[in-house]
Amino acid sequence: HASQLPFTCVVVRHGETDWNRQLRVQGTTDVPLNARGRLQAERCADSVLTQFRHRLSVSVERSTPILSSSLQRAADTAQAIARAVTAEVYKDIRLNEWNLGVIEGMSKDEAAAKHAGDWKIFSHWCSTEVKEEISQQRISGGESMEEVRLRAVQCLEEADPGPERMVIAVTHGGVLGQLLRHAVQNSGQQASVVFWCVPEDPGRLGIPWLTGPEDSFKEYLSKRYKGNSSVWCGGRFATGQVWPNAISTFTLTFGPGAWYFHFLLPIVRPGLILTSFLGISQCVLAAVILVTFFFASAMNPGIIPRNESIPQELEQQMDLRGVPRHRFLKISEITIKQKFCATCNIFRPPRSKHCSFCDNCILRFDHHCTWLGNCVGLYNYRYFVVLIYSSTIFLMQCLYVTVCHFGQEADDTFGPDYGFLDVLWVLSEDTSTVFFFLYCLFLMFAVLLLAVYHTVISLQNLTTNEHVKNYYREGQNPFDYGGLKNCQQIYCFPERVLPEGDDKIEAGYLPFGSYSDGQSFDEL
C-alpha cells in the first residue's frame, strides 16, 4: 500500500499445484492448479471481497484491474477472482515466476546433488536477509533476483488505476517475495505493507486407519522411514514396543477378563448374559475395550516425516551448535518458541515432540504409554481416552458382580441371615475370586484417576506433556478457548490447531511482543 501513490496494490500468490506438493522447483514451467489449488483460488476470491476491503478500506469494483502472470496456475487463480468481482484479467509476462534455469523440475535433493552451486544461490535467495551481491547472481540458464524485482515493480507502477483505487496482481511466490523486499526496503518512506493469509479449511481428519495419511506422509512412511516403530499398511499403523509392553498388558488384562466371562458372570447371571442389561452392557464394553486397545496401541499416532539433512534454505539461520536457531510462533496473540529437531531435521509443528523411545517426532504429542508400547498423539488420542473411560465403567461392573457372587455364596451356604463372619469364611474358601476382586479394584482406581486426569486437561486443552512440564502460565495457553470448545476440537476436530476461528499462525526468528522467556517452551 504505497502511501505517496494514489492506489493500493494487493498481491496474490497462485493456488497449489502438484509440483508444490512434491516440493519440485517450478519456475517458468507451466504447471496447472490441482483440485486443492482450484479450491484455494475460490476462497481467495472471497477474501478479496471481504478481508481486504475491510482491512484496507478500499472498494473492489467492476473497474478494478486484475493483473496476472501468463502462467496457467496464476491465470486460473486470477480468473476465479475476476468472476467474484466481475472484472477483466490482463496477463503480463513481467509477473511470471522467476526463471530458475537448470534446476526447474527438480526436487531440492536432486538440485543440490546435480547443481550444487546453483542450488546454493537459490538457498541464499530464500533466506530472510539477502546481500546485494547475492541478488545480482544468476542461476545457470535463469535470471537474478534483481531482474525479477525490477520487472515486477515496473509492471505495477504502470498499472495505476486512479486515486483511492486498488489493483490486484496475481503472481508467484518468488515474484511476491521480491515485491515484498522492494516494499520493505522503502518502508516508512514510500510504502506500508499489510500481510494477509487466506484461511484454508484443513479438511476433516476422517478415519486415519481407513484413509491413511496424506500423500507426503505416506511416501515417507512407506519408503524412507527411519524411526524405531514398525510401520505397516502404508503408514496407517505403527507399533512400538509390542514385546514385552503391549503383549504383557494384553495378557494381564484380557486373561482375567476371559476368566470373568467364562466362570464368574454366568454364575451370577445364569442364562441372562445376553438378555440382562448388565450382561449386554459388559459385552458391549468388552468389545469397545478390545477395539480401542488395538487402535491406541497399533495406530500411527502422528509420525512426522524427517529430512535426510538440514534444509539448505535454513543454512543462513544456524546457531553456534550448527543447527537452525529457534523460531517464534504467534498463536492467538501469544508467542511460543518453536524448536528445531536435530534428529528429524525439521521445525516441529506446534505441540509436537520427539519421542526418544520411538525415535519419531509426533503430532500433538501427549505421552509415550509404556503399557501400550506406543506414543499417544494426534491420531490415537481419542481411542486412548475411550479406552480408559470404558475400562473404568467395565471394572466397576466387575466389582459389582464379584460382590454379588460373594453374597450368593454366603446365602447358599448359611442362608439369608448370614453375617459378616460368614462372608469372611466364603472369602477364605474362594481365594481366586478374592484375588480377582482386588486386582479389579486396583485397576479401577488406576484407570479412574487417568480418566479424571484426562478430563481435566481436555477441558483446558492441554496435553500430558504440556501439563507435566508446565508449559503455560495461567491464562497464557494459546489453545484454550473454554472447556466446551476445547473438547469439541480434541475429540471432534483434532485436525484443527485452534478450537475456534482460522488456524492463523505468524512465524519469525525474532520474538513477538507477547513472548515471555520465563515459560518452558524449549520442547515445543
Residues belonging to the active site: 14, 97
DSSP state of 316: G
**What is residue 313's DSSP assignment?**
G
Q: Give the DSSP per-residue string, 226-238.
A: -SSSEEETTTTEE
Query: Identity (one letter) of the amino acid at 373?
Result: G
Residue 294 amino acid letter: F
Chain-centroid distance, C-alpha 44: 22
To the question of whether residue 18 is assigned a binding role by annotation, the answer is: yes
Instruction: Name the maximum alpha-carbon separation found in the chain.
Output: 104
Give the separation between CA 177 and CA 150, rounded to whole angstroms: 12
Question: What SS3 string covers 195-244?
Answer: CCCCCCCCCCCCCHHHHCCCHHHHHHHHHHCCCCCEEECCCCEEECCHHH
Q: How many CB atoms lie within 10 A of CB 202?
A: 11
* Distance, CA of 423 to CA of 410 (rounded, Å): 6
Known binding residue 88? Answer is: no
Residue 73 assigned as binding residue: yes
Do 213 and 300 meet the contact criterion of CB atoms below 8 Å apart? yes
Residue 258 CB partners (closer than 8 Å, separation 6+): none
- 14 annotated as a binding-site residue: yes
Q: Where are the alpha helices (DSSP H) in 379-472?
A: 381-414, 420-429, 431-459, 464-468
13 is in an annotated binding site: yes
Nearest to 524 by CA among 356, 314, 364, 325: 364
Selection from 229, 377, 357, 383 nearest residue 294 by Cα: 383
Judge whether 298 and 290 are in contact, CB under 8 Å.
Answer: no
Is residue 300 marked as binding? no
End-to-end Cα, the chain, rounded Å = 35
User: Has 17 been labeled as part of a binding site?
Assistant: yes
223 marked as binding residue:
no
* Helix, strand, or coil (residue 291): helix
In whole angstroms, give the CA distance from residue 80 to residue 45. Answer: 6
> In whole angstroms, what is the distance from residue 463 CA to residue 472 CA?
11
Grid cell digits, residue 78: 486470477
Taking the C-alpha atoms of residue 99 and residue 142, their distance in angstroms, rounded to an integer, is: 5
Helix/strand/coil for 328: strand
DSSP for residue 326: P
Question: What gap in Å lies between CA 94 and CA 74, rounded to an integer?
Answer: 13
3-state secondary structure of 200: coil
7-13/165-171 β-pairing: parallel
Which segments are annotated as binding site for substrate? 13-20, 73, 108
Query: Which positions make up the binding site?
Result: 13-20, 73, 108
